[in-house]
């Protein structure tokens, strides 16, 4: 029995507005990653016996973070939650 794997190669050509939205989203994802990582580091420095904040705790911090940095509202909330999930897994 042989297994045949098939794939589709796809290339997208976003227009200028879509490119700007993608760059905004990627930048916001990077910003949230760095902010959450910094918060976790500071929490550990202040109390080394504390546990690393879990994914749901980081998701709860997204709302106040969006209030502090309004440009985060331009990004899809799901992408920011994926960032928190990836940070928690790392």
Residue 2 included in any domain: no
In a domain, 78, yes or no: yes
Q: Does an H or E element contain 68, and which?
A: helix 55-68
Query: How sure is the predictor about 49, in pLDDT bands with cuts at 50, 70 and 90?
Result: confident
Number of domains in the chain: 1
| Average confidence (pLDDT) over 18-22 | 94
**Which domain does 54 fall in, by range?**
27-89
| 80 Cβ neighbours under 8 A, 6+ residues apart | 28, 29, 32, 62, 72
pTM of the model: 0.80
13 is a domain residue: no
């Amino acid at each position: 029995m042989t297994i045949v794997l098939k794939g589709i190669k796809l290339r997208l050509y976003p227009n200028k507005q879509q490119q700007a939205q993608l760059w905004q989203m990627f930048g916001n994802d990077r910003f949230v990653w760095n902010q959450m990582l910094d918060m976790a580091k500071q929490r550990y420095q202040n109390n080394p016996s504390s546990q690393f904040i879990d994914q749901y705790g980081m998701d709860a911090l997204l709302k106040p973070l969006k209030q502090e940095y309004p440009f985060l509202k331009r990004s899809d909330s799901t992408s920011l939650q994926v960032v928190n999930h990836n940070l928690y897994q790392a």
